[in-house]
Amino acid sequence: MLLEEVQKNYGKLKLYIDGQRVESKTEIWGNVYNPAKDEIIAQVPFSTKDETKEAIQSAQEAFEKWRELPITDRLQYLFRIKFKLEEYYETLSRIITQNHGKTIQEARGELRRTIESVESAISVAYTLAKGEHMDQVSQDIDEVSIREPLGVFGIITPFNFPAMVPFWFIPYAIVLGNTVVVKPSEITPVTMDYVIKIFEEVKLPKGVINIVHGAKDVVDEFLENKFIKGVTFVGSTKVGRYVYEKAGLNGKRAIVQAGAKNFIVVMPDADLNKVIPSILSAFFGNAGQRCLAAANLVIVGDVYDEVKRKFVEAARGLKLGYGLDESVDMGPVVTRDAKKRILGYIEKGVEEGAKLILDGRNFRVEDYPNGYFVGPTIFDEVTPEMVIAKEEIFGPVASIIRAKSLDEAIDMINKSNYGNAASIFTTSGYYARKFRREVSAGNIGINVGVAQPMAFFPFGGKKDSFFGVLHGQIDSIDFFTDRKVVIERW
Ligand code: NAD
């Protein structure tokens, strides 16, 4: 069944500053596309420096009042936001699909995780926001540690989870008494534009959450503005490294979650009936555009041919199309440029001598001939030194690598520059434990293809996949609060 689009066109997106929707005065506007149809669905402004400053100023002014509001009252806004997200669940899911291209099921899944973050912030706020107290640390002296909000935070988000990633941070930041300026991806800005409606309907005090659109210029203002106490960044390693360095130079806190090249290892004792559906979704879910997407499939021992054959067979059966069609398994990639980049990597793999056993390059979806579709693509006989095994492709391209032993597989993973996620499929507790202990990645899957931590666990990678100390999600309780110690004698 093909679901209806929420709107054909969202027009010129507005900024959301100081509780008002304002039209940007910028002269620079970008087109926002529906990638399944290659159709323009909105125009996004690249906010001027003054507009970004105004949003930060508004957040700073709001902070003074917002921090004074008791946490019990701040929490009520999160409850209301959660129920509004539930109310607009289907609408928001369709917008995500329309602007991003992922299937409606994937969009619904994203929104569920979005709501979980709000629930998680609600459930931990009272306990984790508390400080500590100790009586009589010295003669007649007591000591107290207090958690305080810091002020304004900049939230910089990637294209691939336009609802979930902003909500990894917004609920924790605001429930703890901070205020935020959010900059959605300029490629998928429509979802957060719709979410403004929710902030209005719950009557969030003006300035607590502001939204500005754009790219580098907005990010640079975040990194330079004296009112910004910290930034959260989720996106590519190249930009993430720049954000982390500049935040450090300017004395700002930063959580930077960056790029990935994730491995899945299949051991000879794995239960293949369970492996194939899991790895299919890990490699081709979201058309491979997940920071936790699998990219390299390392098969150990004599199951190599069987796993390969079944994987290719299953991938060949995936139905591509417009994600609003409920029967579709995989949507397009996000932009024409992304498609070009992915096709470039496939060419590179062929040049490097990898064997292309499933070629998604000339994939056509009859009803959507202009969509940015790339079919599931699988390379065999890949070696860890090849570019396609090392660099992040961020598309539906799988590289199969042979390993003689688990030690060899672990060594490959640990030599990768990235360390976001790694999974093993096995029925052996010994292999699983060894993998968990020896692999250098932030998220480990054991018989799970996409090792995504729930909202109430920390989330972050290692090596070039992460810069900072505190991870996202639950760790942001520490990120969004400062500690003060009081030593008292009466
Ligand atoms: P991107 O780095 O291109 O963009 C991320 C954000 O940075 C966007 O808001 C963008 O406007 C801004 N930006 C772009 N260029 C900039 C510049 N030169 N200076 C300052 N800001 C700039 O990433 P993307 O393509 O939107 O997202 C895909 C990437 O995000 C992949 O590498 C993926 O692995 C990563 N990602 C990581 C995680 C994680 O948790 N580790 C989660 C999701 C996505």
Going by their DSSP bridges, the two strands 209-211 and 141-149 should be labelled as: unpaired
Strand partners, 138: 141
| Pair 251, 386 in one domain | no
In a domain, 344, yes or no: yes
Distance CA 198, CA 91 (A): 12
pLDDT tens-digit readout, 75-119? 999 999 999 999 999 999 999 999 999 999 999 999 999 999 999
User: What b/e sequence results for 205-234 when a residue is b if at least 16 CB atoms lie within 10 Å of its CB, and e otherwise?
Assistant: ebbbbbbbbbbebbbbbbbebebbbbbbbb
Find the CATH number of the domain harbouring 113.
3.40.605.10
Ligand 1: nearest atom to the Cα of 240: 2
| Pair 137, 213 in one domain | yes
CA distances to 62, 136, 346, 356, 398 from 349, rounded to whole Å, are 52, 67, 5, 8, 11
In a domain, 397, yes or no: yes
CA distances to 15, 199, 207, 211, 345 from 20, rounded to whole Å, are 8, 11, 9, 10, 44
Residue 283 confidence (pLDDT): 98
Contact at 8 Å (CB) between 328 and 439? no
Annotation marks residue 59 as catalytic: no
Residue 379 confidence (pLDDT): 99
| Pair 122, 248 in one domain | yes
Across the range 428-435, mean pLDDT stands at: 98
Across the range 241-259, mean pLDDT stands at: 98
Across the range 227-240, mean pLDDT stands at: 98
In a domain, 225, yes or no: yes
Question: Would the CB of 257 count as within 6 Å of ligand 1?
Answer: yes
| Pair 34, 157 in one domain | yes
| Pair 394, 413 in one domain | yes
In a domain, 3, yes or no: no
In a domain, 152, yes or no: yes
CB atoms within 10 A of CB 201: 13
Alpha-carbon 13 to chain mean position = 22
| Pair 162, 311 in one domain | no
In a domain, 469, yes or no: yes
Residue 358 confidence (pLDDT): 98
What is the CA(351)–ligand 1 centre distance, in A? Answer: 28
What is the CA(445)–ligand 1 centre distance, in A? Answer: 24
Residue tagged 């640079």 (tokens): 220
| Pair 380, 470 in one domain | no
H runs (alpha helix) in 202-335: 216-224, 237-249, 272-284, 304-316
pLDDT tens-digit readout, 188-229? 999 999 999 999 999 999 999 999 999 999 999 999 999 999
Residue 130 confidence (pLDDT): 93
pLDDT tens-digit readout, 119-165? 999 999 989 899 999 999 999 999 999 999 999 999 999 999 999 99
Q: Whose CA is nearest to atom 38 of ligand 1?
A: 291
Find the CATH number of the domain harbouring 395.
3.40.309.10
Residues with Cβ within 8 Å of 285's Cβ and at least 6 positions away in sequence, in order, are 106, 293, 330, 450
Across the range 241-262, mean pLDDT stands at: 98
In a domain, 459, yes or no: no
Point out the catalytic residue in the list 170, 215, 243, 291.
291
Tokens of 47: 């906010």
What is the CA(181)–ligand 1 centre distance, in A? Answer: 17
CA distances to 77, 108, 157, 254 from 234, rounded to whole Å, are 25, 21, 5, 11
Across the range 271-291, mean pLDDT stands at: 97
Residue 134 Ramachandran class (φ > 0 left, ψ -120 to 50 alpha, else beta): beta
Residue tagged 């490959």 (tokens): 412
- Predicted confidence band of residue 182 (pLDDT cuts 50, 70, 90): very high
Mutate to test the pocket of ligand 1, among 46, 110, 237, 291 (most ligand atoms within 8 A of CB): 291
| Pair 349, 449 in one domain | yes
What is the CA(337)–ligand 1 centre distance, in A? Answer: 15
**Averaged confidence pLDDT in the chain:** 98
| Pair 87, 160 in one domain | yes
| Pair 252, 267 in one domain | no
| Pair 104, 223 in one domain | yes
pLDDT tens-digit readout, 322-368? 999 999 999 999 999 999 999 999 999 999 999 999 999 999 999 99
| Pair 27, 146 in one domain | yes
Q: Residue 22, CB half-sphere, CA atoms under 13 Å: how many?
A: 18
pLDDT tens-digit readout, 296-327? 999 999 999 999 999 999 999 999 999 999 99
In degrees and rounded to multiples of 5, residue 119 shows phi and psi of -60, -40
Residue 427 confidence (pLDDT): 98
Distance CA 173, CA 59 (A): 12
In a domain, 219, yes or no: yes
Distance CA 10, CA 384 (A): 45
Find the helix or strand (DSSP H, E) in which 137 lies. Answer: strand 132-138
- Please give the tally of structural domains in the chain: 2
Residue 343 confidence (pLDDT): 98
Residue 280 confidence (pLDDT): 98
- Predicted confidence band of residue 413 (pLDDT cuts 50, 70, 90): very high
Structural domain for 162, as ranges: 15-258+465-489
3-state class (DSSP) for residue 14: coil
Residue 263 confidence (pLDDT): 98
Strand partners, 203: none
- Predicted confidence band of residue 452 (pLDDT cuts 50, 70, 90): very high
pTM attached to this predicted model? 0.98
Going by their DSSP bridges, the two strands 466-467 and 253-257 should be labelled as: antiparallel
